Amino acid sequence: MDLRGAEPVERVSAARRGRYLIALAPFAWVSATGCGDSTAPARARPRPNIIVTISPTLAGAFATLGATQTFRATVTDTLGDTLTDVVTWSASNAPGSTAIAVASDGTATVAPSAVPGDYAVVAAAGGVADTATMRVLAAPAGKLVFSARVGTDAQLFVKDFAAAGDATQITTGSGTIAGLAVDQTTGVIFFSKGALPNVDIYRVAMDGTGLANLTNDVAQSNQGPSVNPVTHDVYFSRRGSSGTATQIFRVRPDGGAPVQVTTGTQSKIQPAVSPDGNSLAWGELVPGNSQEIMTAAIDGSNPVQLTSRTGINGGALWFSNTRILWSFLAPGVGGDVYSLDVGNPSAVANLTNGAGTSTQPSGGCAANTATIVRTGASGTLAYQLDLGTSLAVPYTLPVSRTVAFARRLC
């Protein structure tokens, strides 16, 4: 951590806080008893020690993109009472550098020119301070593909991180986008679009050329495409060939007749294919108005229910051939991204822990990362999520848009 330029601070450990309480107790007792003499002058109670607490303790930005992050500081005494001391903010920039600027309200602005590394953000009051870390990551590589509204209609955008400037809009036309996938080998984009629920699956190149309708039957509500990384077939949900349940289908990347993969009486949506192309996952509507994550063989056989929690479990991602990520939403519960190993489905890990509403995990480009969509104070943006630290770093672009779906091309 680069701490050059940081002000000297006094940090108060938990053990020292305990000693302060013990040390203060005799003064409080003496003040209350007046040493047994009711006429003795009252002693002034010494001011309790100050504790400064800053949150979040870790935030991030990408070099060349920059970001804005609001930090909060609370000032209390050792008894837990809130104090009104003025907080001053600073950052550990190198001499003469303005890589990190912190305003008086705790808003830290990371310049696009910031050198990758860890910077200290310091909140101080009454001679005591607390420190958070602003982590600047190396500039992202590859591309970001996302959907956002232009007027009343959803469109696709591509941001090439090798080029300066904003993302490029590559589609036009009316309708809502109801799913997005990118073939990591060919770079082809697959998406569903139309007037919900009447949507088709389309294919388009990264530059917006070669737009083709793969399903040509909007009445069947073709949604949520996912690419098999081995065969390059596109898996998606569609009204079943019989009955009323929505099933998983597949189609060749150049089109043709869709082939039904799953059966049953319960509707299935948002398919995902494992990296080795051998397994499927999807969200299945179950009795009780909930949606659970299911897995199966690539042909839809041997389905297994992985989750069991009232609410909407969906947007599954095979992070590896044995590990699944997904998002969970329920009334009164903020959306979070979770993880489990299919061999031990009871060991569920929350990867985002209520930091905004986090949904739609998809593949990341850096090691041990995923891409998510998060709604927070800065709006609804695409983020890189580090699965080890839970650090979510926004893909900040010159024009701020409300992102609906986001995928990376590495």
Q: How sure is the predictor about 37, in pLDDT bands with cuts at 50, 70 and 90?
A: very low
Domain count, the chain: 2
Q: Which two tokens stand for residue 38?
A: 């009711």
Separation of alpha carbons 303 and 273, rounded Å? 14
Task: Give residues with Cβ within 8 angstroms of 239, minimum separation 6.
Answer: 219, 220, 221, 246, 247
CA 283 to mean position of chain CA atoms: 20
- Tell me, yes or no, whether 312 and 199 share the same domain: yes
Separation of alpha carbons 38 and 149, rounded Å? 75
More confidently predicted of 32 and 296: 296
Ranges 40-54, 96-110, 268-282: which has the least confidence: 40-54
* Predicted confidence (pLDDT) at residue 326 exceeds the cutoff of 60: yes
Q: Is residue 197 part of a domain?
A: yes
Q: What is the chain's mean pLDDT, rounded?
A: 88
Mind listing the pLDDT tens digit for each residue in 249-295?
A: 999 999 999 999 999 999 999 999 999 999 999 999 998 879 999 99
Q: Is residue 7 part of a domain?
A: no
Q: What is the mean pLDDT of residues 343-363?
A: 93
- Tell me, yes or no, whether 300 and 330 share the same domain: yes
Q: Is residue 365 part of a domain?
A: yes
* Predicted confidence (pLDDT) at residue 199 exceeds the cutoff of 60: yes
Q: How sure is the predictor about 48, in pLDDT bands with cuts at 50, 70 and 90?
A: low
Predicted local confidence at residue 28, as pLDDT: 35
* % of the chain exceeding 70 in pLDDT: 88
Phi, psi of 35 (to 5 degrees): 60, 30
Last residue of a domain, one of 137, 157, 173: 137
Mind listing the pLDDT tens digit for each residue in 205-220?
A: 999 999 999 999 999 9
Predicted local confidence at residue 83, as pLDDT: 92
Predicted local confidence at residue 333, as pLDDT: 80
Q: What is the mean pLDDT of residues 73-79?
A: 93
Q: Is residue 6 part of a domain?
A: no
Domain holding 208, by residue range, is: 143-409
* Predicted confidence (pLDDT) at residue 327 exceeds the cutoff of 80: yes
Q: How sure is the predictor about 300, in pLDDT bands with cuts at 50, 70 and 90?
A: very high
Mind listing the pLDDT tens digit for each residue in 121-179?
A: 999 999 999 999 999 999 999 999 999 999 999 999 999 999 999 999 999 999 999 99
Q: Is residue 1 part of a domain?
A: no
Predicted local confidence at residue 93, as pLDDT: 86
Q: Which two tokens stand for residue 290?
A: 């909930």
Separation of alpha carbons 75 and 124, rounded Å? 9
Separation of alpha carbons 186 and 213, rounded Å? 18
Global pTM reads 0.85
One DSSP character per residue, 227-280 reads: E-TTT--EEEEEE-SSSS-EEEEEE-TT----EE---SSS-EEEEEE-TTS-EE
Predicted local confidence at residue 8, as pLDDT: 39
Q: Is residue 4 part of a domain?
A: no
Q: Is residue 148 part of a domain?
A: yes
- Tell me, yes or no, whether 173 and 132 share the same domain: no
Last residue of a domain, one of 104, 137, 170: 137
In DSSP terms, 74 is beta-bridged to 53
* Predicted confidence (pLDDT) at residue 10 exceeds the cutoff of 70: no
- Tell me, yes or no, whether 259 and 394 share the same domain: yes
Q: Which two tokens stand for residue 96?
A: 């003469």
Task: Name the CA dihedral angle for 333, 335, 339, 343, rounded to a multiple of 10 degrees.
Answer: 50
* Predicted confidence (pLDDT) at residue 370 exceeds the cutoff of 60: yes
In DSSP terms, 200 is beta-bridged to 193
Q: How sure is the predictor about 234, in pLDDT bands with cuts at 50, 70 and 90?
A: very high
Predicted local confidence at residue 49, as pLDDT: 85
